Structure 1
């Protein structure tokens, strides 16, 4: 099992992507979330923006975090998920399984997986191979995606 990068390394990845403590993307969040909600609703997936997801997107939304694996391979995690209707069924199933809301907060380019969060800031990763627990908060989700250290969702149902 891989150990994740240190918090300082994740902070460096976030800073390189343009994040800083005073960052505020409030002007972009309404358009993004309205699109996501209506696009998913058109695919029979009903969800609502909750305060924790909105706060996440205000601070971390619209970043492209690069995972520099080596000189020939890099992956990115984008901290907004505009087009996620192809995962509508999986999102609905996850909400049913967890008995709580989720909201899409990011996707990774290489695997085309979708990261969603719950109101208690737990992050789950929806991938073509299944759904996984990715941690709580930005540092844990980036660490999990960077290392591929995702946990089976069965261990994290409420």
Structure 2
């Protein structure tokens, strides 16, 4: 997996610094514009610091990729994120999206990865390594509802 990350711009000790904080601020501000509070989480901020700005291609899926850009979303997504978070019994914050379908990649306060897609919520993994490994193995992500109050 590290070869795949390095091939796509990641390197050990990568940190996009103040840019990460600005991306997180923009996303939190957009949620407020939508009338919802999405509080930045330390776990999500760490992911943006380390992977922010990367395009991580989905092997074997054409041009599909995870775009590690937390500011992309749509009107009403903040309410949908808080609804999923309430069902999971945790807080969630966006860290990126899936292209080309624009499923929103979320991280909870425990570092677990979820996706909010137009077809529903999905558990991507217990952390970034699990989520990226599942992506590299082209594993289907299980429904998030299977993990309400549990670990992925």
TM over 0.5: yes
Could you say which residue in structure 1 is the equivalent of 2:113? 123
Which structure features the higher share of strand residues? 1
TM-score normalised per structure 1: 0.85
Q: Say whether the 8 Å CA contact 2:67–2:97 is kept in structure 1.
A: yes
Gaps of 5+ in 2: none
| Consecutive unaligned residues in structure 1, runs of 5 or more | 1-9
**1:9-158 alignment to 2 at 5 Å?**
10-69=1-60, 73-86=62-75, 87-146=77-136, 147-158=138-149
1:98, distance to aligned residue in structure 2 (A): 2.1
TM-score by length of 2: 0.88
Aligned residue pairs, count: 147
1:114 and 1:126 in contact (8 A); partners too: yes
Q: For the residues of structure 1 that align with 2:6 and 2:15, how far apart are their CA atoms?
A: 14
- List structure 1 runs of 4+ shifted beyond 4 angstroms: none
